[in-house]
Amino acid sequence: MKVLLTGSAGFVGSHLAERLLREGHHVTGVDNYLSGQRRNTELLRAHPHFRFVEADVSAGLPVDGSFDAVLHFASPASPPHYQQHPVETLMVGAQGTQHALELARRCGATFLLASTSEVYGDPRVHPQPESYWGHVNPTGLRSCYDEAKRYAEALTMAYHRHHGVDTRIVRIFNTYGPRMRADDGRVVTNFINQALAGRPLTVYGDGQQTRSFQYVDDLVEGIMRLLASAYHGPVNIGNPDEYTILEFAQVIRELIDPGLEIVHAPMPADDPRQRRPDISLARELLGWEPRVSLLDGLRRTVAHFQQFGAREYVQVEA
């Protein structure tokens, strides 16, 4: 396929681009580096089937030619980044999504939207199935991201129903792995950075809030299976193994330095109390479920952070 991938320099986008290239597809990546990393583009540049366009998809998609698939992954995704750039986050969810949908419409391409578990907000239903409409604060600190993705889903379904665009929507739950930004600001990178520096691990609140963590390779496999399906509605892709944040801190501590202290800080505003995907639909529809254990995935991620800066990423081979 000829694939247009927005957000190709991001954490998930770069792994997805790598997988597409390895399967023989031609990938045009688009990113403006608001939260993506130039090193993620550089590791792909040597591949003969990859080309890159630096652009803000909210302002348009300055690309030539036709595409078989348009995958929209452009957006800040961590609270520090989208709270630093709230307007840009809303715009890439609105105008950026529309520009990507228009390109898919013109080309007759399949369109896949990267949505998020944040559309469920601070959920009152647990675990969260795709049929749950969520419990989101529309004016809170996190609303720029939550509502951008909710609007993007609505726009995607409108283009499917009104214009006949062949759409897919993946609702991504907490994902971790190599190539995360060191300043990502989410719990995985925070704990790993603190532990490697020999500092206490900071747990917000009492640590009883829960998250479910999936390794990036599992996510990419789910995305590829969804892309190959014919299902137009949202599909949860996440790991249903649920941990309290305190339990997760203890896992990181045991993995890196069992002698580290765990300290507590005030809970951030609108931080969800629980998050766990119901992946029944993904299992039934895609035959997908996560394969990488938490310990195995964390070992790979810690090894990356230990080596980060010591040597550049290995380029993707043709």
Catalytic positions: 145
Euclidean distance between CA atoms 41 and 215, whole angstroms: 21
Euclidean distance between CA atoms 231 and 235, whole angstroms: 9
Euclidean distance between CA atoms 53 and 67, whole angstroms: 15
Using CB atoms within 10 Å of the CB of residue 84, give its burial: 0 to 12 exposed, 13 to 18 middle, 19+ buried. middle
The CA-based angle 156-160-162, given to 5 degrees, is 110
Q: What is the DSSP string of 160-193?
A: HHHH--EEEEEEE--EE-TT--TT--SHHHHHHH
How much of the chain is in helix, strand and coil states, percent to nearest 5? Answer: 40, 20, 40
DSSP 116: E
Which H or E run includes 5?
A: strand 2-6
Q: What is the DSSP string of 188-235?
A: HHHHHHHHHTTPPEEEETTS--EEE-EEHHHHHHHHHHHHHS---SEE
Residue 127: cis peptide before it, omega within 30 degrees of 0 = yes
